Structure 1
Amino acid sequence: MTTHIPAAAKIVADLKARFFPTPTYRQLQLEFDLLLEQRRANLRQGRQQEVRGLLVVAPSGAGKTTLVARVLRQHPSGLRMLTEGEERADIVSMVVPSPATPKGVGLDMLEALGYPLRRDRSAHIIWQLVKTQFAQRQVLFLHLDEAQDFSRHNNHNDRHAVISTLKSLTQSPQWPVGLILSGTPELLDLVNMDAQLARRLKPVEHRPLKTSVDGGMITAALRQYAAAADITLDDALCKPRFVHRLVHAADYCFGILVEMICEAIGEVLLAGEDILSTKSFVTCFSRRSGCPEGLNPFVVEDFLALDVRRLLQPEPGPGNQGRPR
């Protein structure tokens, strides 16, 4: 089996680098294009109007980071991302550092903009410098990923300071910047603290998967990834019963589901086989979770009772009573 590892690992890595467009992706793409063209129209007319933004919310593993990155980095108009040595940037994209204090985030942003501070300054001055840098570089949009960390590590006053700072970016009379905030559902609590900020953000929800709604998309993904790996797809994997198991095993998150498809294909290749079957997913889930067969959603009859996010769960039995939750 070890002789197959390098080839299998490369194929799985290539598969995970592929992008599968979803309805949520197309919605986000549409909403961003509308905002972008409105901003460009205002710039052509010399108007500096308040800029609206986007809010992308989804549980961990849903694929929101990949989704936003694809929309911004693969835009057909060739948007300029912040790059060292380049003066202009249409988009500044960064992960919110943890702990996400207003001052700390501002300092990280100045560092990314190539404007590190040599002495201590207040949060207010730091963000004024950020705004100046945005205007000089003509930044159109700021994307902050994992933005829920603003609410995790700050007290009430600091959270309000974050909201005021973010809102002020969109209202700057000299050079307004549109916000794209992405994060877990905790982010909603922060945004909803201020009705004015909430009004400026168009929500795009990466909703949980539903077999009844998304079954066709999921079977299409199974077929496309299997074809990309040049292996055969067992017809049983396109049946609603298996798709339901797969959706639950992925905790209803599309990003995790795609990972599992890729890793199950890896199990096929490691075994020197050429058919993607239920057996491949049984092995894949076991390797991912470290759980015994009695807690594997591709094996257990009552698979909906399983908590698929937990690792190394012991199988219920003598001395270990209780149903898995």
Structure 2
Amino acid sequence: MNDFIDMAAVKVAAPLKAVYYPFARAEALHGTIKSCLTDYYMKADVGAAFEARGVLVTGKSRSGKTRELQHLIQKVNEAQIMMPSGLPARIVKCTLPARMNWKELGLKTLTALGYPGEGSRRTTNAIWQMVRDQAKRQGVIGIHYDEAQHMFSDTGNAANRVVLDSFKAVMKEADWPLMIILSGVPSLKTHIETDHASEERKQLRFLLTPVHFELIRPKAPEDIHELNTLAYTYADKAGIDFDPLSNVDFFERLSHACAYRWGLVIEMMIEAFTICKVAGETTIGIGHFVEAFSRIHGIPNGYTPFTVDDYMDSFDPDNLLRLLSHQD
């Protein structure tokens, strides 16, 4: 018997965490990635030097950007698309945990390419040459930089320009251009749009196709429908009857409890369905979401947006997000 891991909860939650729900926004993202890959293939097939195109994905924290990109990039890598180089196309991912400079990003990228710590004593230019060499050898044609806003600051305009120019150089490298995917919070788009290069130098923002992830709009019928479909998708996977909570009032409360973030809604559904199933129950109730809310936000059980009449005044979405940030 395991005194430290609730294996019953693991057994229920693991299949739910593996579920991929196809949001409509995924179609727009897929179309944009497909366009960039098609552009890359056509230019590479010509054999002359070219510049790659990329994607700029923005949305508030926990809106589901990372999950959608991870799923799509995994599909690209699994597809084994044979490129003109004779190697299957690959895209790797780097998550930026904090502010870093261009040299540090190069080292982070080398780690993503399977070479951790390599070249740490080399110059910045030498490190990025290693990045290009390894990418070319491995058939890596794209890099996804998650939380890319950490490459910029609100006060470092000169440093920001260096980063913008450096990203452009990576995408226009004559020997092996790379498709760049930048994702992050909305301020990332603001930094990209400050690129006021001269006319003869194409601005980075013209090389990146923007895709924005919206928050939940609880008064929009289409979003309520999406929430309902999402709930039944996970409930069916868990073998739980969701009918008692399939109503507008519940979905409005759920949206508020999750700060109108699709990603958080999925987390709370998984937690609530796991609580329900582990308890040996097959029909969902408010109590399961009350307990899920308390566990996720680390606050006393019972006082939640699901049970308070004036929940919109009693719970501030930004404060709920700050609670989660402190936990992280």
SS in 2 for 1:208: coil
Give the equivalent residue in structure 2 for 1:90: 90
After superposition, give the CA deviation of every residue in 1:241-296 in whole Å (9 maximum; x if it has no partner): 11111111111111100111111111212322111122211121122223346741
Q: 1:296 aligns with which of 284, 295, 304?
A: 304
Match of 1:318 in 2: none
TM-score scaled by length of structure 1: 0.84
Change (3 A) 1:27 1:34: same
Distance in 2 of aligned mates of 1:309 and 1:65: 20
Q: How far is 1:78 from its partner?
A: 1.3
Aligned to 1:20: 21
Paired with 1:312 and 1:249, the residues of 2 have a C-alpha distance of 10
Residue of 221, 237, 253 corresponding to 2:261: 253
Given the alignment of the two structures, is residue 220 of structure 1 paired with residue 213 of structure 2, yes or no?
A: no
Distance in 2 (CA, whole Å) between partners of 1:77 and 1:9 is 27
Deviation at 1:65, TM superposition (A): 1.0
- Asked if 1:275 corresponds to 2:276, the answer is no
3-state SS of paired residue (1:69): helix
| Aligned residue number for residue 33 of structure 1 | 34
1:217 is displaced (CA, Å) by 1.2
Give the whole-Å Cα distance in 1 for the aligned partners of 2:301 and 2:8. 28
Task: Report the CA distance shift for 1:76/1:112 in structure 2 as closer, same or farther (over 3 A).
Answer: closer
1:53 counterpart letter in structure 2: G
- The residue type equivalent to 2:216 in the other structure is L
Select between 123-132 and 157-166 the one with higher mean Cα deviation. 123-132
Mean Cα deviation higher: 137-146 or 288-297: 288-297
Contact kept, 8 Å, 1:169 with 1:176, in 2: the verdict is yes
Output aligned runs, 1:129-148, within 5 Å: 129-148=130-149
Contact 2:77–2:90 at 8 Å: present in 1 too? no
Specify the SS of the correspondent of 1:74. helix
Unaligned runs of 5+ in 1: 81-86, 314-325
Equivalent of residue 233 in structure 1, options 222, 236, 242? 242
Q: Is the contact made by 2:12 and 2:278 (CA closer than 8 Å) also made in structure 1?
A: no
Distance 1:311 1:202, change over 3 A: closer
Call closer, same or farther: CA 1:158–1:123 in 2, change over 3 Å: farther
Partners of 2:305 and 2:167 lie apart in 1 by 43
Matched, 1:203 2:240: no
- Cα gap change, 1:249 to 1:101, in 2 (>3 Å): same
Kept in 2: contact 1:79–1:91 (CA 8 A): no
Matched ranges for 1:66-145 at <5 A = 66-75=67-76, 78-79=79-80, 90-115=90-115, 116-117=117-118, 120-145=121-146
Q: Given residue 206 of structure 2, which amino acid in structure 1 is its aligned partner?
A: R
Which runs of no fewer than 5 residues in structure 2 stay unpaired? 82-86, 197-202, 323-328
SS in 1 for 2:281: coil
- Output one character per residue of 1:40-79: Cα deviation in whole Å (capped at 9) or x when no partner: 1222232432211101111221121111010110238614
What is the alpha-carbon root mean square deviation over aligned residues? 2.8
TM-score, normalised relative to structure 2: 0.84
Contact 1:72 1:79 in 2 (8 A): no
Distance change (3 Å), C-alpha of 1:300 and 1:119: closer
> Percent identity among equivalent residues?
31
Query: CA 1:9–1:90 in 2, change beyond 3 Å: closer, same or farther?
Result: closer
The structure-2 alpha-carbon separation of the partners of 1:273 and 1:106, relative to structure 1 and needing over 3 Å to count, comes to: same
